Amino acid sequence: MSSTPEVRYSRLSESEIETEMGRRFRRVVIEKSIPRLTYLYGRLRGKFWAEMDEYTGASDLFVKRYQFHIYEVTFWVNKDDGISKGIPFGFEPDANFPMHKLPPTIPCHLVIEGSTQYFGVVLHDPQFADVTFNHKLQQEEGRELFGTIETYATGYILDELKEVYEEIEYLPEEMSHVTPSVMPQGIAVDNERYAQAAASQGLVAGNSHKWWVMNGAVRSVHSNSIYNGFEGVISWVILALFMLALLPRLILFLPFIGVILVFRMMPVIIWKWLMIAMIVLVPLFFIISLLFPGYRVRSVVKPQAINYDSVTGVIPPSPRLAETDQASESQRDSLIRHYRKWYDYKGKLYEGSYYIKVSDYSSAHKWKNSIAVTGSGEGAYDYMLYLLKRHDQNRLSGLYEMFDSIKMANKLDSVQFADVIVSFVQQIPYCLVLEKACSPSLYSDAFIRDYLSSENARCDEYERFGINSPVEFMATSKGDCDTRTLFLYVIFRHYNYKVAVLSSEFYSHSLLGIHLPLTGQAYYYKNEPYYCWETTSAGIPAGAIPKEVDKLDYWRLSLTSD
């Protein structure tokens, strides 16, 4: 059982301010992140790949001798009785299944039964019951299994409520040491008596207030006269500027000046503080009353609930807007905005917003429909990918800004940053992109027919070449294997990675290849490993290719950055 997430506090910004009277304080903007757990219960189905542990005895069931990796998971829950906010479901895990061998988190596609909603989520602390394994196939070396798993499952998805507020922290005044025997008015120095005296005046130690006497140190007193010292100079400068600004109406202030002259006859210490108060506060309040109808020192941003794990973004622009041939250049460009939340392979949450210009989306769509590429051979396909890359690579600034801020805020190295970018794409729900209509009867390919006939199939029809360009993909969130691979190729080239697009006519599939210090299956180019990365399913790290497409002899390079 994983530990419950705790409330986190983050300082967003700090600024120090000093008043005219020399009082210093710090304004701190704080973000409070409150974890929110939503528990799910339903039917789970996915693929597994299991690697055998050290053999521990012939009596063990095979499931107890293998370490499990689960991927391409779909989780069906009922909208009425399969979702609970903050309260776990009563659930009895399968005693014959070793729960400790499950990963702490499982990325999956969540389908809400009884509605059209689906999400990409990460299931935390998964628990299984009534586990069934299907189509188990054992490798020749006898140490691996792969197949499909079906089970009833529960767990929770995690998101956060964020509240931003300000705090004011008063800073201690500068102290100078004096002999701790006698205070200025002849009061003997005694720490215990200081504490009693401070308590009697309602003063306590803390961030907002400091005792005026601390450990035998008292405030330095340089002069008893307002005419001497820094405070006196500042006071007279403020008074002179204020009176010059109001010179035409100076007669109105003659009574005020008379009062000052009367005060001058008072003892210096009393006159000093009254003078400072009038010089600073009266003009300040007068100016504020003229310029502002009200003044607010502290503001609190009302927290807003975040829709958990939404990957569908906003509604894409209408085709009529994107296909407009004539547009006034004087009109301001519109933006397609998306907000995304996703998790890396360790379950860490990332989130951000990006935008695509409508003019760029329209341009990308027109470019794809106008490029002069004919034929169906390998060369024609590769050239088509190159032309789409060349057109779109400088039209993704809104996305680069989001990734730049995430990398800087989290101090990510090259491998961690690559994980964040690929998991961002993997957790966008799969969508088949076709040149013709989305009708199973039009296609002889078994995968296309079966997919279009399946429940919750997503399809983008009448797209030339059966692909969406990187800009189109980010605008609509609709993409299959080569759409995603081409997009990632463009993004990684922007960040100066060594990257490649791998294609297989035999498997009718596309993979990303990336040159990083990783492990797993790799395609070698110029004696350098390009680790293969599956982009259509959540939770598959670099180097782990599904067994159905793992023969590298059937793969080739379509694009390479080197």
Domain segments of the chain: what residues? 35-54+64-164, 335-560
At residue 114, what is the residue type?
G
> Residue 363: exposed, middle, or buried by beta-carbon count in 10 A (0-12, 13-18, 19+)?
middle
Q: What does the H/E/C string look like for 350-413? A: EEEEEEEEHHHHHHHHHHHHHCCCCCCCHHHHHHHHHHHHHHHCCCCHHHHHHHHHHHHHHCCC
Which of 303-317, 359-373, 444-458, 470-484 is least confident? 303-317
How many Cβ atoms are within 10 Å of 164's Cβ, its own excluded?
15
User: How far apart, in whole angstroms, are the C-alpha atoms of residue 461 and residue 363?
Assistant: 19
- Of the chain, the end-to-end C-alpha distance in Å amounts to 46
Tens of pLDDT along 39-57? 999 999 988 877 766 554 4
Closest by alpha carbon to 357, among 313, 321, 407? 321
Structure-model confidence comparison of residues 400 and 22, the more confident one:
400
Q: Does the CA dihedral 94-97-102-108 come out positive or negative?
A: negative
Tens of pLDDT along 226-246? 444 555 567 676 776 666 665
Mean pLDDT computed over 206-224: 36
Q: Does the CA dihedral 342-348-349-354 come out positive or negative?
A: negative
142 confidence band (pLDDT: 50, 70, 90): low
Predicted pLDDT of residue 147 = 80
Does pLDDT of 251 surpass 50? yes
**Which positions ≥6 away from 380 have C-beta within 8 Å?**
373, 374
Quickly count helices (H) and strands (E) in the chain. 12, 19
Place of tokens 């767990």: 155
User: How far apart, in whole angstroms, are the C-alpha atoms of residue 328 and residue 414?
Assistant: 43
Please check whether residue 315 is in contact with residue 476, taking contact to mean a CB–CB distance below 8 angstroms: no
At residue 187, what is the residue type?
I
Tokens at 68, concatenated: 């499990």
Predicted pLDDT of residue 294 = 43
Closest by alpha carbon to 430, among 152, 82, 74? 74
Q: What is the DSSP letter of 180?
A: T
Tens of pLDDT along 431-464? 999 999 999 999 888 889 889 998 888 999 999 9
Please check whether residue 10 is in contact with residue 31, taking contact to mean a CB–CB distance below 8 angstroms: yes
